[in-house]
Each structure stands twice: as C-alpha cells, then as structure tokens.
C-alpha cells in the first residue's frame, strides 16, 4: 500500500500596499485558506504577536515588520474576543534603554494604540535559561520567560528579507528575538560558523514554536539584508502557514535560493520540523510564479555557496589566507555612534583616533555590525574570488 505523504499549506495572497483596507482584506483571504483565524485563536486567550523589530528603523526601510500589518492582525485577534500583545527584543547595544524610541520609530506604539494591543518589553521579563545542544556540547541560552509562560498563542510575524550570514531571515530565525538584548550577540560568539549558529537557532525555535506564522512580504528586502544596508523591494504579497519551515522553504524558493544553501532550512529539515522539499507544500491563493519578483538581488554571502563542492577543501584553505567577505566602514557616512564598537561579540572593532577600525584577525564575520549600523556606513567587501562566482551566478 502506498504511504501518503503529509501535505503542508502555505497560503499566499497578493497585497500591493500597506493601505489598511487592502491589508485587512488580504489578511482575511490569507487566513481563510488555512482555516481562518478562529482555528488558531479562541475567545479569552492572550495572544502574542512577535514581529521582526531588529533595530529602530522606520517602516519604509523594510528592516522591520510593517506596523500596518501588525495593527490589522491585532484587530483581528480582538474580533475573536481574544487579547493581543506585541513584543520583541531588538539587537544591538543601547537600544534596550531606548525601547520606547524603538516602538515609536518602528510604528509599534501607534499599532498598539490603534488596535488596543499591549506592548510587551521582553527585557523586563524574568529570564529562563534553556539548555540546548550545540554539536557535542550543551549550552545555556537565556530567553524571556514571558514568551514561554504568559501567552496562550504566539503569532510569529517575520519580514521577507535576505541575510548576509544566514542568507535568508524568515519564520524560524524570527523567534531568535525571544533572547533578550545583547545576549543575542553573544550567540554569535558561541557559534561563529553559520552552520553552528543555524543548529542553535533551530534548537531554540523548537522551544518556542509559534502556532501561526504570517510573513510581511508587501515590501521585502533584497541584497545586503537584514539591516539598513539591504534594499527594499516591492514584492507585493502576504504568506501564512502553521508550519514555520514550510513558510521558510516557500520564501527561499521565491527568492530563487536552493534550500541546501540556507543553513537554517537545511538543519530544520534534518530535524524533521516540517516538509523536506517544496513538492510537499500546497500554495493556496497564488502560485510561486505569480509571487516571484522579476529580478531579486541575493546577499553577497550566498555566492560562497555557488562554489562547487569539490573545490571547497582547497578554497577553505585559501579562505584562511584571503577572507571571502569582510565588513568595511565608510568613514564619510559613519557618525561615530559606537553601536558597532559596543555590539561586536569578539571586540574586533574600536575607535582609534576618531576613526572606526576593524581588527580582521579577530573578526568572525557575524555581520552584526552591518545589521545594526544605523547610518549604512558598514557594508560588506567581497573578495575577488567571490565576485567571480557572483558573476557566474
């Protein structure tokens, strides 16, 4: 007897603008494809909306989940007779003291006021330490206990974005925000290689699995994401799924990236967190072809994965001599705000005689400095070798 393969659903609905009426209509259609919001949220429940609030950037930069979508989701939760909350922990030094400013700049304060949702400061939550596997070791990871204990339902609302290090940042990686403040940066120190980092991200995700995922792909980000150095792109749709891995597979496929080249997806597939291939996913609402942008710029790091496997041992040796990607500072744009100096997990950046300087011997290429630089002064320099594969790609 043939064994029936489990099917996964990722709902997709076109939505061209953040106009409230258009987003409301699109969200209703989006959720109807996967059973409606009532299948996930019951009257009286406390529901946490977890957007991507990486840094205090205005909505038009596409660094964070758009407040119009968060507002509409919160209103829909209220219509179910439930109670919406909005919470995330951003990255970088100094933001925690300015959490009010983060909410204001990202539009979350306005989203909460308009919808009657309550803002949750993860930094003020009690900390719970989780012990997670990393290779043969176990590491202790602090998370905001409120996410694990205070809510009946978590709705994950990531942003459609590229990522210099992990290639894409989607539903699974968005739950990284449950780690408070600068502890996220220390995560990079624990797992400097992207494969180890991905293993840890997936382990963390398994402790905080959201019931529903809604991805903001109305304006996405291409190129050097996920921070200000990425470029907004009008992608024009929304995605929803109960399975985060299915959503991330669809996102990578729309971007035109092979699943094995996104380490978080590869680790999550191996861990059995959902579908193994795109073929196991149904897309009610819109086809992949309808959703694909005409042209989509990948992050520089993704070209490293185009290097043929048989060349990897030799190139790994060469890469130790000539690094493939390096963060570089544009002194003309740099405001000397010190965010990068204070956020670098291995203290590879200092301010020498008024100029920001990077010690490449210490740098682990985590790209936190690029993600968090508010002035777009930190960018990636690619080696000639990588540019060669970029052209071939």
Burial of 248-273, coded b for 16+ CB within 10 Å and e otherwise, reads bbbbbbbbebebebbbbbbbbbeeeb
Dihedral in degrees, nearest 10, Cα atoms 299, 330, 94, 72: -40
Dihedral in degrees, nearest 10, Cα atoms 71, 121, 127, 52: 40
Token pair 């290090």 is at which residue?
165
Q: Closest CB to ligand SF4 among 102 and 368? A: 368
Q: Do residues 83 and 47 touch, judged by C-beta distance below 8 A? A: yes
Measured distance CA(160)–CA(163) in Å, rounded: 10
Residues in region 362-381 near ligand SF4 by CB under 6 A: 363-369, 373, 375, 377-378
Helix axes 194-207, 183-190, angle to 10 degrees: 130
Does 146 contact ligand SF4 by CB under 6 A? Answer: no
DSSP state of 107: T
Does 356 contact ligand SF4 by CB under 6 A? Answer: yes
Does 182 contact ligand SF4 by CB under 6 A? Answer: no
Strand partners, 157: 51
Q: Which stretch in 79-87, 206-214, 265-273, 357-365 sits in contact with ligand SF4 by CB under 6 A?
A: 357-365
Q: Which of 7, 124, 270, 336 binds ligand SF4 (CB under 6 A)?
A: 336
Q: Which stretch in 12-20, 111-119, 286-294, 337-345 sits in contact with ligand SF4 by CB under 6 A?
A: 337-345
Does 388 contact ligand SF4 by CB under 6 A? Answer: no
Rounded least distance, CB 247 to ligand SF4, Å: 28
Token pair 């970088």 is at which residue?
92
Rounded least distance, CB 314 to ligand SF4, Å: 25
Per-residue contact flags (x/-) with ligand SF4 for residues 276 to 295, judged by CB under 6 A? --------------------
Residues in region 295-334 near ligand SF4 by CB under 6 A: 327, 329, 334
Rounded least distance, CB 390 to ligand SF4, Å: 19
**What H or E segment, with its residue span, contains residue 212?**
strand 212-223
Rounded least distance, CB 366 to ligand SF4, Å: 4
Strand partners, 387: none
Measured distance CA(197)–CA(269) in Å, rounded: 15
Measured distance CA(202)–CA(207) in Å, rounded: 9
Rounded least distance, CB 229 to ligand SF4, Å: 10
Q: Closest CB to ligand SF4 among 26 and 344? A: 344
Q: Closest CB to ligand SF4 among 319 and 375? A: 375
Q: Closest CB to ligand SF4 among 38 and 192? A: 192
Q: Which of 138, 335, 381, 387 binds ligand SF4 (CB under 6 A)?
A: 335
Count of residues touching ligand SF4 (by CB under 6 A): 26
- Distances 178 to 88, 246, 337 between C-alpha atoms, Å: 7, 21, 26
Does 99 contact ligand SF4 by CB under 6 A? Answer: no
Peptide bond before residue 226 is cis, with ω within 30 degrees of 0: yes
DSSP state of 306: G
Rounded least distance, CB 360 to ligand SF4, Å: 8
Q: Which of 29, 148, 346, 388 binds ligand SF4 (CB under 6 A)?
A: 346
Interface contacts to ligand SF4, rule CB under 6 A: 327, 329, 334-340, 344, 346, 348-349, 356, 358, 363-369, 373, 375, 377-378
């Amino acid at each position: 007897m043939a064994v029936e393969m489990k099917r996964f659903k990722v709902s997709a609905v076109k939505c061209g603008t953040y106009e409230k009426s258009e987003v409301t209509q699109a969200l209703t259609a989006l959720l109807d494809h996967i059973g409606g919001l009532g299948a996930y949220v019951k009257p009286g429940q406390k529901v946490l909306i977890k957007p991507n609030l990486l840094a205090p950037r205005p909505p038009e930069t596409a660094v964070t989940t758009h407040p119009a979508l968060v507002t509409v989701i919160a209103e829909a939760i209220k219509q179910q007779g439930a109670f919406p909350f909005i919470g995330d922990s951003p990255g970088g030094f100094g933001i925690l003291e300015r959490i009010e400013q983060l909410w204001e700049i990202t539009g979350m304060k306005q989203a909460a006021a308009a919808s009657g949702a309550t803002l949750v400061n993860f930094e003020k939550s009690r900390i719970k330490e989780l012990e997670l596997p990393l290779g043969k070791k176990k590491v202790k990871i602090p998370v905001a206990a409120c996410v694990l204990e205070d809510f009946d339902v978590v709705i994950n609302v990531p942003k459609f974005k590229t990522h210099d290090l992990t290639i894409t940042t989607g539903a699974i990686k968005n739950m990284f925000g449950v780690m408070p403040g600068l502890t996220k940066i220390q995560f990079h120190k624990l797992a400097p290689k992207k494969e180890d980092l991905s293993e840890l991200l997936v382990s963390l995700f398994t402790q905080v699995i959201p019931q529903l995922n809604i991805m903001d792909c109305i304006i996405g980000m291409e190129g050097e994401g996920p921070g200000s150095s990425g470029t907004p792109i009008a992608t024009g749709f929304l995605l929803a799924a109960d399975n985060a891995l299915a959503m991330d597979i669809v996102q990578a496929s729309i971007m035109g990236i092979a699943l094995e080249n996104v380490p978080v997806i590869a680790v999550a597939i191996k861990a059995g967190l959902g579908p193994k291939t795109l073929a196991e996913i149904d897309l009610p609402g819109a086809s992949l072809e309808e959703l694909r942008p005409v042209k989509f710029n990948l992050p520089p790091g993704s070209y490293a994965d185009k290097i043929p496997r048989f060349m990897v041992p030799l190139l790994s040796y060469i890469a130790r001599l000539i690094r493939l990607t390096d963060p570089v500072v544009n002194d003309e744009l740099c405001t000397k705000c010190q965010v990068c100096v204070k956020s670098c997990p291995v203290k590879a950046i200092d301010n020498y005689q008024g100029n920001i300087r990077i010690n490449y011997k210490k740098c682990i290429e985590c790209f936190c400095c690029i993600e968090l630089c508010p002035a777009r002064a930190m960018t990636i320099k690619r080696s000639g070798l990588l540019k060669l594969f970029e052209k071939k790609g």
